[in-house]
Homo-oligomer: A and B are copies of this chain.
């Protein structure tokens, strides 16, 4: 089957616009650890897939999946020990106030239920998010993706605030003044909801603002923003779908700013590819929700999903993957910063643990985004066997977010390949 044939069948079945990576799409057939293999047997270093969190096809996770699927796979309206073992183990890793869990299947479902919990609790519907975010694809969650709606909210109960950014700072401010200015935007959005009569339910953000391009958050912003949220009776919902499970070198992204959320949503890495996601929240909020809503999820929290979730935690612990993310992540950032001496394209290097962004700019003074160069970079990297993506409001931030067992040796290959590719692009601008 040629690529042309596959593309033709795909367009007819899934739609001509069903998204694909790369100018020439990859036909991947096998994965192992940090490696992906295409149909021709060529291998690629995976530097961006975060769903295969503990490595593609990790044998411990696959064995747990196969064993439980052969034993029992039913819904949660019978008693089962695995859901309790997993749920207790999971919640024990959060701040004590985050003690209860609602299992779902996807990050979209988790964020949708988080919105329901917050709106039911407050009796109001207004939700604050950032201006270039994405939290999922249900009707309610899609309303937050104002990026895809031409920058405008599609609903009166969504208000997007500028994401906190130290690289292209609001009003050219810095430090404490910058943090206060961004927090002030949150306060103004709250006041606008109150003035509209919509009322204010809460703020839903990724604690590391991953889809916003992983900005350096001005110190103090999160604390001030959440204070405004709580003073107005709203809830702070942290979307840990990308930041969670040790990705940042800490177990949860919210630990970076030490601001404990009221609701946390989990997804992608949780089941290493198995559709497992959750809402972790305060006991009073979940009991209130369950008292007023007949909530049930057919697949959520079934024994197979929970066995998989348990196996993922096993591997994170056994292989010290949180430490690895911190150490190797810092090593990659140091390598990228060293490369800034040779490559004027790299305007900024940032991130936490193994979630790393390198912003490409045409000029370090004007900081004009180099989106075309970022596009060339990821396609040329792919041709050289290294997979990475790009992200951010200008699509010019190189996205480095590999499976967690990523080693220093893997980092060396990534850095050497990127060094060569950026050199070529700089010598041969198009």
Contact = CB atoms under 8 A, between A and B. Distances in A.
Interface string A137-151: 111101001001000
10 contacts: A13-B84, A14-B101, A14-B102, A25-B79, A28-B74, A49-B75, A57-B70, A105-B299, A139-B139, A273-B304
A299 B69 contact: no
Nearest to A139: B140
A66 to B, nearest CB: 4
B20 A287 contact: no
A106 B106 CA distance: 9
A16 B80 contact: no
A73 B73 CA distance: 20
Interface string A276-320: 000000010011011101111111011011000000000000000
A256 interface: no
A112 to B, nearest CB: 5
A17 B290 contact: yes
Given A69-B57, A275-B105, A293-B148, A27 B87 contact: no
A25 B73 contact: no
Contacts of A137: 109, 113, 295-297
A335 to B, nearest CB: 26
The binding surface of chain A is classed by DSSP as mixed
Interface residues of A, number: 96
Contact of A298 (B62, B81, B268, B291): B268
Which among A26, A79, A272, A294 has the highest number of chain B CB atoms within 10 Å?
A: A79
Contacts of A305: 275
A72 B105 contact: no
B87 A73 contact: no
Interface in A3-47: 3, 6-7, 9-10, 12-21, 25-31, 36
Contacts of A20: 77-79
A128 interface: no
A377 interface: no
Interface of A: 1, 3, 6-7, 9-10, 12-21, 25-31, 36, 49, 51-52, 56-57, 59, 61-62, 65-66, 69-81, 83-84, 87-88, 91, 99-102, 104-109, 112-113, 115-116, 137-140, 142, 145, 148, 267-268, 272-275, 283, 286-287, 289-291, 293-299, 301-302, 304-305
Contacts of A17: 287, 290-291
A66 B299 CA distance: 18
B101 A73 contact: no
Given A65-B66, A74-B28, A106-B109, A287 B15 contact: yes
A13 B287 contact: no
Nearest to A104: B106
A83 B304 CA distance: 22
A78 to B, nearest CB: 4
Contact of A57 (B73, B272, B297): B73
